[in-house]
Amino acid sequence: MEFFVPLQSLNRIKLNIIKKLCEMNNTNINILKRLLGLKSIIGNTPLLKIDYKYRGKSRTVYAKAEYHNLTGSIKDRMACHILCESYKSGALQPGMHIMEATSGNTGISFSALGRAMGHEVTIFIPNWMSAERINLIRSFGANIRLVSPEEGGFLGSIRMADDCQKANPEHIFLPHQFDNVKNCEAHATTTGPEIAGQLAQLGLIPDAFVAGVGTGGTVMGVGAYLRSINSDVKIYPLEPANSPTMSTGYKVGKHRIQGISDEFIPSIVKLDELDEIIQVDDGDSIIMAQKLARNLGLGVGISSGGNFLGAVQIQNQLGDDAVVATVFSDDSKKYLSTDYTKEEPVKDGFFSPDIELEKVTILR
């Protein structure tokens, strides 16, 4: 038997279902609407078509301009998705205190979104992260706990957040970005489809995707989506050669690419599902980020310079015509107090000196 429901009635039914779900989960529909309003300025970022020459050979790399998101980084996607889904499930309730351990961008995102939703927010962050990151978190009204190396650094930050939640589980909400599969889901449902769709406008299918691994949500989520439409696509995780945590399995060395290689391999990172690990030198990444700013007007962060170098290495393997995509995770404003603004010495083995940037085209 077929029946017809007028559109107006159908919309009313949907609204009533949403209200009922909110009542069942003890959430406030107005808070959820506020978050969904902010979600409209998260994602759907431009894709940058960057033409360059490497040792005289013409190539192109495609990079998502993630600094166009609400707080200026790719982490807005994950933070917004986790908060939305947690409200829907009832895991996050009005009045709960949001806490998270972070190396910066995630803390900024949860601070902005959490405070906009009326939550108290506390961020645990290693004390050697850039002053800009720390001050941005404070500017959104969040509490901040700086954690010294003697207190355990990044792993100490995670332990402190976990201890607080264990002491008061009914009042404290932890997003657990390093273990939360919704982190990957955020990129499988937004970043991945956007990359594929924007490349399709040019009649292209990606041969490879590369991204630096902090939580691993980007490379795992984008990789899952791209492989769902092309099983042959290569998905490469990237790490600093100065501190190759994924290659060794444990913390080793120091590096200056804030936001990746945070002393351990997150549980959501499944290396057996990815292709080979790409390594970049932090000094080379700084020089590359500087070149992107000075030659193309793209003020991107140090990890973005590293991601571009990763794409160059992949094209060295796959060929000059390989369609390689990556992300420019944030902008340079968070690194003005770091070595990003200093003259970086060129060392043997660097890729950046052989790269001649030519032009950038913006794809919506």
Q: What pLDDT shows up at residue 153?
A: 87
Q: What pLDDT shows up at residue 13?
A: 44
**Assigned fold of 47-73+180-363:** Rossmann fold (3.40.50)
Determine if the pTM surpasses 0.75.
yes
pLDDT band, very low/low/confident/very high, at 28 (cuts 50, 70, 90): low
Measured at the alpha carbon of residue 107, what is the angle toward residues 102 and 111, in degrees to the nearest 5?
A: 155
Query: 242: closest CA among 114, 349, 334?
Result: 349
Contact in structure between 71 and 142 (CB atoms under 8 Å) = no
Most confident among 145-154, 186-195, 252-261 (mean pLDDT):
186-195
DSSP string, 163-203: HHHHHSTTTEE---TTT-HHHHHHIIIIIHHHHHHHHHTTT
Q: What pLDDT shows up at residue 12?
A: 54
Q: What pLDDT shows up at residue 262?
A: 84
Of 4-18, 46-60, 160-174, give the lowest mean pLDDT range: 4-18
* Cα–Cα distance, 291 to 168 (Å, whole number): 48
Model confidence pLDDT, tens digit, residues 82-96? 999 999 898 999 999
Where are the domain boundaries for CATH 3.40.50.1100 in the chain?
Answer: 47-73+180-363, 75-173
Query: 114: closest CA among 90, 86, 89?
Result: 86
* pLDDT over 80 (residue 10): no
* Cα–Cα distance, 158 to 14 (Å, whole number): 39
According to DSSP, residue 48 is labeled E
Segment 200-224 shows an average pLDDT of 98
Token pair for residue 251? Answer: 């913390």
Contact in structure between 88 and 98 (CB atoms under 8 Å) = no
pLDDT band, very low/low/confident/very high, at 34 (cuts 50, 70, 90): confident
Query: 78: closest CA among 212, 160, 180, 195?
Result: 180
In percent, the amount of the chain with pLDDT more than 90 equals 85
Q: What pLDDT shows up at residue 35?
A: 87
CATH number for region 75-173: 3.40.50.1100
pLDDT band, very low/low/confident/very high, at 36 (cuts 50, 70, 90): confident
* pLDDT over 70 (residue 19): no
List Cβ neighbours of 355 (8 Å cut-off, separation of 6 or more): 52, 53, 54, 288, 291, 312
Of the two residues 16 and 290, the one the predictor is more confident about is 290
First to last CA, the chain: 44
* Residue 360 identity: V
Segment 207-221 shows an average pLDDT of 98
Token pair 């499930």: residue: 89
* Residue 207 identity: D
* pLDDT over 50 (residue 355): yes
Of 28-42, 165-179, 228-242, 258-272, give the lowest mean pLDDT range: 28-42
Model confidence pLDDT, tens digit, residues 191-203? 999 999 999 999 9
* pLDDT over 60 (residue 220): yes
Q: What pLDDT shows up at residue 14?
A: 45
